[in-house]
Structure 1
Amino acid sequence: MGGGLLQRCHDALWNNPEQPKDLRLTKLDFQLDYVDLFVVHSCDKLIITNDTFSGVEITEQFKLLEIKQIEIEPYAFRGIRKAPKQFVIQDSAIGTIPRNAFVGLSQVDHFWIKNVSINRIERSAFSGISLFKYIYFRGVVIDAIETEAFAEMHHVNYFYMRGNVSLSMVDEFIFRGSHIDEIMFEDARVKATDYTLSGVFSNKIELIDCKWHTNKVTNAKVTQQAVDIFNAKNSTFNRIVPGLFYNHTSITFDMCQIHHLTSIPTIYIQNCADFLISNSRIYQWHSHGIPEHSKIQSLTIESCQIDRTHTRAVFGSNIESFVLDKNKIASTARRFFERSVITKLLVSECVIGSLAGSTFANARFNILLFNENKVANIDDKAFGIINAVQMQITSSYFPRFPEFAFEEGNITDLTVLSSHFRGPPPKSSFAGLSAQRLRFTHCEFVCQVDDCETNALFFQKSIHQLAWVFEHNRCLSHSTFQTVNPSMVCTNATEIITDSGVFCRRRLEIEECICTSDDTVIVPRSRASLLVLGDCNSVSLVDSHSPQLHSVYLYRTAFINVQSLPQSLQRLHILHSAVKFNRAYIIRDTSLHELKLNGVHVDAIVDNAFAGGHITSLVLDSTRLSGVTSKSFAKSMINELYIYDSEIVNAGDLFAHAKHATIADSKLRSSLFLASISHLCFRNNSVECGCIEMDLKLPQNQCDDSSNRCINGSNFDYWRRTRTITPNSEVADFLSGSRPCSAKQNDQLKMSRGSVQSSLPAFAILLCCVFMTLIAC
């Protein structure tokens, strides 16, 4: 049998007569199987002692209403047989909620504290409770919440503090170890620490219309936590520490005021898929705001105002996608992204007050896009010391063309497209830039009409197919900013005639030369970045001490003797020429990004020619390679080897030092070390074979084996001379009867043939001696 209990303090049966409005609850005995409703209200003071509800079953509601002072002792609800579905404390005041105050409560639908003032919630006050649907604080004033006050709560669906909430002091890790589906603070004024919300396991945390002030914590403290979604909206934060959001899948700050975006040493972001700050204001972005060792899949700052940034604001982080979109940035700091590795950085539709020198320095970008931005002031070297695979500056506005804009930049592919510069390009515009490919096209800028050499670079297209291309650019008038008639602009290159028989035309960064003498000429010293030399009888390439020079093109030359390479050289292209690498250690202890031979006869590569060097890409296209020794590439490294439509008469140790290789449509007399290449694409090739084997197969070949063919060794030279004979010809018939063999067997056969051939003369002499002896007898 059940019932209900409604207790008014002024008519309580248990009251001390001298204090008619005080009530002390001790262990209860209702003489009932259960109680549907338990209500105490209108008291001056209520004391609930430990074990008060032991053995009691309250099925529906427990309410404490309009009580001026509530004191709850530890374990007050220990042993309760059944907790109520609704637990309500309203319009009251609580002195202290002690440790283990609510131990025993379980399966409560609504735990509601409304319009209540609380002096202190002690450590572990709510620990041990489980299976709560709602824990709801509304209109509360709490002076202090201690560390781990709500720790170790399990299977709580919703924890809300909403509606005119004031928390004067909230300590760290208040939810440590708790599992709560959703946590929300709304319309709350909170004074907390950096670690207040750390250590919880939750699907979602929301801060809405809050003023959140945190005290700085200097000691790094790491605890286990996991949060799927963190959302802050229309809130103000005196400081945000992104490093504390480790193991947060998605973080969003929308319409927020963030006074300091800062860090705590050794704390960094891990396991973060999306970090978004939108429609917000960041007053200061401090050094290490995105700290070292952080790993973020997507970081987006959009439609924000950023008042001040510091050097190394993003430091040593690994970010897949970083987007700065539609922001108003007062100024960027030098080395903003230092030591970070960013797969894709997009800076788009931003208004930047001042772009500092070396903003992007000492970071690595796979793709860097600077699109549709308006820059009010730009420092020299603004894009200096960039390391990027692909960089594009598109449809952007700059007040001037900075000096040394890309100094010390190492960019594989750089494009400047449809951009506007309200100042003439200085002669140092591209000085110190190392770019494998550069396209500067469809741009407009104020030019000096009588600066012929500079104008020649931007407005005169090269007759050669170079990696640096300048085309379709327009000169603007300094006074009207209107397009100047091209006929009014001097675009004559500077002409240079050397004593060694070379005539050059220099267009600032590009110098194009031809030989005027049949004698051997030395590649001239140059102030340009790219040097082209061709139509020569004999050329000697040596280190010319040209610190700017990073690309050399040699073409249509009867004989090229490569003796040493300039220390700054990154690319060497040789076209339609004959060449010998005639000296050892031509690239010792240096790196060559690209060595490309197109239509070239390589007659010799001497011992140790490339020893100790590092070649990123070696390309042989329509080239005949011979004269390579077993030590030509000793202790060298070739990242990528490409051989197309070429004839390899002798490869020496070339294949032994290649990590990745693509060999296609080519003829190989030498197959030594092919099997040592770890990543190989070997297709549609002809290999000299001299043994019988059903298939030419290499286990690491990632391409079609069946397209490769074997040529009998004795017929290899004949095959080369008759390479255009139709398949029905005599040679084709001969080849169809020969069987292929593996590269390994081919090399073994060559060795065995050598030993057999060397033994034949001795055997013939012995046989002759025996025959002559018989005749004498």
Structure 2
Amino acid sequence: MKVEYQRCSFFCIAQIAACRCEETLGGESGTRFTLPKLNGLHFIHTLIIHTCDLLIIPNGTFDGVVFHQLIKLVAIKQVVLSPWTFRGILRSPHELIIQEANFHRIPKNAFSGLSNLKHIWFRNATIGSIAARAFEHNFSGKMHEVENFFIRGNVRIRSLGAMVFSDSQIAQLVFEDVRMSTNELCFIGVEVNKLMLMRCRWRNRRTRHLSRFISQSIDHVHLINTTVDRLALSTFFNSTKIQIDQSTIAELSPATSNLRARSIYFFKSTIKQITSNAFHNINSIELLEVVQSKIGIISERAFRNANIETLLFDKSSIDQIHTTSFEKTRIRTLQWSECEIGGMSANIFLNTIIQQILISKSKVTSIANNCFADLILATFLIVDSKMSQIGSSPFANVQVENLTLHNNEFTFGDFGTIFAQLGVLSLTATNNVFGCDPNDCETNALLLNNDERYMPWYFENNRCLKSHGKEICKRELEWTDRGGVHCRGRHQIVECVCDGDTTSDKSVQLPQTNASILLIGDCIQLHINSASTSRVTSLHIYRIETLQLLRLPPRLKTLQIFHSRVHFINENAFAYLNMDRVEVIATHINTIERYAFRDSSVKTFILRDSALLNAERHAFGSSSIENFYAEICKFYRVDNLWSYLNNVSIRQSFVDNPIELMRLRTFCFEDSDSACECVPDEFIERNRCETRIESCPESDISVENWQTKFCMKADQHNSGTASVKADSNRRFSVLLIPDCNKLAAMIFLLYRFAVVV
């Protein structure tokens, strides 16, 4: 049965209402229809309104109505919605479809009140503007969320306002084949599982920064084959994953709020410019990946203050990386793999801390002067790559634990300064090809000569790109210091020996040099009082009969002393140093003065086959020693030395008074002896290693009584220091080796001879 209800045909059995439009008088204005209030119809299964020139839907039209399946507006030239059109609706339909319809404006709260929809469709529609909060409080029903909100199929939106979807809850929001111009804050306030833009043309207007953003929750943002004139990733500030595939972004613009996404992925996309502050202050990204994509310019401060776990560029191209692009950034892993980079400007990593940089199978046209300057990182690897042009001092003031260059081609550049001012613990350069100058002897000596593997800087199997038929000069620079110290150097590596006059007691000074690595040995007396301008980061000392340490180089990271006798380590000798490694082998140390290590930090301190006669109280005061290892050593009168150390391990050694070890929570005292007949049970408990020392029979004895009763033999051990000195002096007459330039002999002696005490 069909019933006419205010110009709507209502089919009673199916509960379907189909509303028709009527022509105005004269027929010049076309058909128009104002939808009446439907509260007289309590239940409607389907409502269809079609083929109108003008449709007006007043507010409260659906008040008191229960819908079941569908509301559909189709073939309507102009739809006029009032605010709160759906206010009071008792139950929303499963689907709302708007097809081949045009809207001059969708006002604020036009769709507010709808809930529990499975689908909303805008198809083949033109929308002049969507006002801010048009869908506010939209899907607040508790039965189930909206499954799909589709704006697809030749839709044009001239203006999409701020916070259009505020407080809306949607499973999937899809824009497909849409041309739209939006406010940068259009998606603020939405709660959606997946936001997708497919084959869209998106103009995004810049907006002022909001002092306070309301909530937003987006699990996955996905742009596919979409063109965007400017995109601020903070538009999706509270999303979990942002994925951009086969899209073009003219400008990745500055963020207006902190981005909290965990992963951002660009695939086969083009970004013409990443502007300043595009990634400013992002602090939660675990992975930022750019794959098979093209980037025009990475601007100054583009990643300023960002904190990124992994930043990966794979099979991608970058025209130019500008200066300070990564200023004050913290990145765990930065990788360029199979990439092409046009230019890398100076100081791109200013004040940046990175755990690891890897450049592999990539081509870089130009690396500017001081390109990587002031970078702080653990590992820097360049492998299987081609660098066409390298400026001077690319690694100036870089602090890195391990720098590796392997199987690369460096075509042109100032190779004489390639490692200038580099602070590195370990440098390995192997199987590289350099565009050599055949007449630059010192540079060629540095790059082309093979080194011993124990050297902190190791070069092997490097060669010149072309020799132009000329013989390659690889001669080191040689000179004699005014103090009689003969040196030879190849830029950042200098090896020195004394003049060989074993009868002279003249004290020599550490040679003045701009080198990073300095080796010196075979001296009767060596006096080290470094200037504050010294650039030495790695100092290796061997076979010195009398060594005096007054002040070490301020940039020192590694110190090795072999087969020597240290007369004293002066107060403040190590003051304020931040060192990676101190290693003392087969060496006799007479005295470490109080506060010799004032406010210093040492990651690893190793003594082997050595003796320490006297460490004044607080010798290590205000210092931080992370790991301390001693093997086959003897310690006398070391006072409170142990209380300043961490992770103490003593093996096959002698400690005259182990009382200070008990100030540590745990320690390793393995196969070692002390001047005490036995130790308290507490000592045994704190010792985490097996020991042959016995516990005292009196378990409740105090530390003071234990020391008095069971450690009297310490004096006898202390009296043996004279014989230590004598044995030490005798040893030097045997250890002096004529060919003092061969450090390999020193390594052999390290295992061949031991300190006799």
CA distance in 1, matches of 2:363, 2:539: 36
1:454–1:672 Cα change, 3 Å? farther
Provide, for residues 162-210 of structure 1, a one-character-per-residue CA deviation record: whole Å limited to 9, x for no partner: 0000111110111111111101000001110111112211111100000
Supply the AA of the counterpart residue of 2:251.
H
2:26 counterpart residue number: none
SS in 1 for 2:104: strand
Q: Secondary structure at the match of 2:297?
A: coil
* C-alpha contact 1:655 1:672 (8 A) present in aligned 2: no
Q: For 1:382, what is the secondary structure of its paired residue?
A: coil
Partner of 2:136: 151
TM-score, normalising length from structure 1?
0.83
8 Å contact 2:183–2:205 — kept in the other structure? Answer: yes
CA contact (8 A) 1:66 1:92 kept: yes
Measured at CA, do residues 107 and 350 of structure 1 come closer, stay the same or move farther in structure 2, by a change above 3 Å? same
How far off its partner does 1:84 sit? Answer: 2.4
Partner of 2:69: 85
- When residues 645 and 345 of structure 1 are mapped into structure 2, their CA distance, relative to the original with a 3 A threshold, is farther
Matches of 1:690 and 1:54, distance apart in 2: 105
The 2-side partners of 1:163 and 1:686 are apart by 83
Classify the secondary structure of the residue corresponding to 1:457. Answer: helix
Unpaired segments of 5 or more residues in structure 1? 8-12, 15-22, 713-737, 758-777
Q: Note the C-alpha offset of 1:645.
A: 4.8
Give unmatched runs, 5+ long, in structure 2. Answer: 23-30, 715-757
Q: Does the residue aligned with 1:244 lie in a helix, a strand or coil?
A: helix
Quote the offset at 1:624 in angstroms. 2.8
Q: Which residue pairs with 2:600 in the alignment?
A: 613
User: 1:288-327: per-residue Cα shift (whole Å, max 9, x none)?
Assistant: 1101243200001122221222111111111000001222
Deviation digits for residues 132-177 of structure 1 (CA, Å, limit 9, x no counterpart): 1101111111111111111221311110000000111110111111
| 1:424 CA displacement | 5.5
1:160, 1:185 within 8 Å by CA — same for their partners in 2? Answer: yes
CA contact (8 A) 1:709 1:740 kept: no
Indicate the residue corresponding to 1:238 in structure 2. Answer: 229
- Cα distance, 1:668–1:130 mapped onto 2, change above 3 Å: farther
Q: 1:308 aligns with which of 297, 305, 314?
A: 297
Measured after TM superposition, the shift of residue 91 of structure 1 is 0.8
Matching residue of 1:517: 501
Structure 1 residue 668: Cα displacement = 3.8
2:570 equivalent in structure 1: 583
Q: Is the 8 A contact 2:383 2:405 kept in 1?
A: yes
State the Cα distance separating 1:536 from its structure 2 match. 2.6
Structure 2 counterpart of 1:557: 544
Q: Which residue of 2 aligns with 1:501?
A: 484
**Alpha-carbon distance change, 224 to 382 in structure 1, aligned in 2, over 3 angstroms:** same
Match of 2:177 among 187, 199, 214: 187
Q: Which amino acid aligns with 1:223?
A: I
Q: Counterpart of 1:730?
A: none
Match in the other structure for 1:492: 475
| CA distance 1:61–1:532, shift in 2 (3 Å) | same
**What do the CA deviations read for 1:743-774 (whole angstroms, capped 9, x no partner)?**
9965772268799x9xxxxxxxxxxxxxxxxx
Change (3 A) 1:432 1:53: same
SS at 1:563 equivalent: strand
Question: 2: distance between equivalents of 1:237 and 1:230?
Answer: 14
Q: Is the 8 A contact 2:310 2:331 kept in 1?
A: yes
Q: 1:642 to 1:365 in 2, by over 3 A?
A: farther
SS of aligned partner of 2:574 = coil
Measure the CA separation in 1 of the matches of 2:304 and 2:111.
40
Structure 1 residue 234, shift from structure 2 partner: 0.6
Provide the residue aligned with 1:73 in structure 2. 58
TM-superposed CA distance for 1:545, in Å, is: 5.8
Whole-Å separation in 2 of the counterparts to 1:53 and 1:287: 56
CA contact (8 A) 1:502 1:517 kept: no
Q: How far apart, in 2, do the equivalents of 1:684 and 1:244 lie?
A: 61
1:422 match: secondary structure: strand
Residue 477 (structure 1) aligned to one of 466, 483, 486? 466
1:689-723 Cα deviation digits (max 9, x unpaired) = 55565564566x8xxx3x331536xxxxxxxxxxx
| Structure 2 residue 295 is matched with structure 1 residue 295 | no
Paired residues for 1:30-429 under 5 Å: 36-43=15-22, 44-50=31-37, 52-53=38-39, 56-58=42-44, 60-80=45-65, 82-103=66-87, 104=89, 106=91, 108-152=93-137, 153-154=139-140, 155-220=145-210, 221-265=212-256, 267-270=257-260, 272-423=261-412, 425-429=414-418
CA–CA distance in 1 between the matches of 2:369 and 2:204?
A: 39
Aligned residues: 695
- Cα distance in 2 for partners of 1:606, 1:389 equals 33
1:675 Cα deviation after fit: 5.3
Question: 1: distance between equivalents of 2:32 and 2:446?
Answer: 90
Q: Distance in 2 between matches of 1:439 and 1:747?
A: 53
Give the RMSD, CA atoms, in angstroms: 3.0
- 672, 683, 696: which one pairs with 1:686? 672
- Find the aligned partners of 1:752 and 1:344 in 2 and give their Cα distance: 58
1:472-494 Cα deviation digits (max 9, x unpaired): 10012265xxxx79xx3222212
Deviations 1:337-359 (A, max 9, x none): 11111000001211111121222
What is the CA-CA distance between 1:583 and the residue it aligns to? 1.9
In structure 2, the CA distance between the partners of 1:690 and 1:430, relative to structure 1 (3 Å rule), is same
Alpha-carbon shift at residue 222 of structure 1 (Å)? 1.5
Whichever residue aligns with residue 326 of structure 2, its letter is: F
SS at match of 2:707: helix
User: 2:697, 2:234 → 1: CA distance?
Assistant: 62
What is the rounded CA distance, in whole Å, between the counterparts of 1:740 and 1:177 in structure 2?
A: 76
Per-residue Cα deviation, 1:235-284 (whole angstroms, up to 9, x for no partner): 1111111233333121111111111111244x1112x2210112111111
- Measure the CA separation in 1 of the matches of 2:178 and 2:81: 20
How far apart are 1:660 and its partner, in Å?
4.8
Q: Percent identity?
A: 24
Which secondary structure state, in structure 2, belongs to the residue aligned with residue 427 of structure 1? helix
Q: Is the 8 A contact 1:188 1:211 kept in 2?
A: yes
CA contact (8 A) 2:273 2:296 kept: yes
* Structure-to-structure mapping, 1:1-12, within 5 angstroms: none
CA–CA distance in structure 2, aligned partners of residues 370 and 31 of structure 1: 71
Match of 2:693 among 693, 696, 711: 711
- 2:70 maps to a residue whose letter is Q
- Cα distance in 1 for partners of 2:165, 2:482 equals 82
Quote the offset at 1:659 in angstroms: 4.8
Kept in 2, the 8 Å contact 1:387–1:411? The answer is yes
Code of the aligned partner of 1:40: C
SS in 1 for 2:446: helix
Deviating more after overlay: 648-657 vs 401-410 = 648-657
Name the CA distance, whole Å, in 2 between partners of 1:326 and 1:38.
Answer: 58
Q: Distance in 2 between matches of 1:645 and 1:262?
A: 63
Contact kept, 8 Å, 2:535 with 2:553, in 1: the verdict is no
Residue deviations 1:33-72, cap 9 Å, x none? Answer: x86211113442222345x2366112x3111111222221
Q: Which secondary structure does the structure 1 equivalent of 2:117 belong to? A: strand
* Aligned position for 1:20: none
Provide Cα deviations, 1:593-643, integer angstroms capped at 9, x if missing partner. 432222322221011212233334333334333311222122223344344
Tell me by how many angstroms 1:368 deviates: 0.5
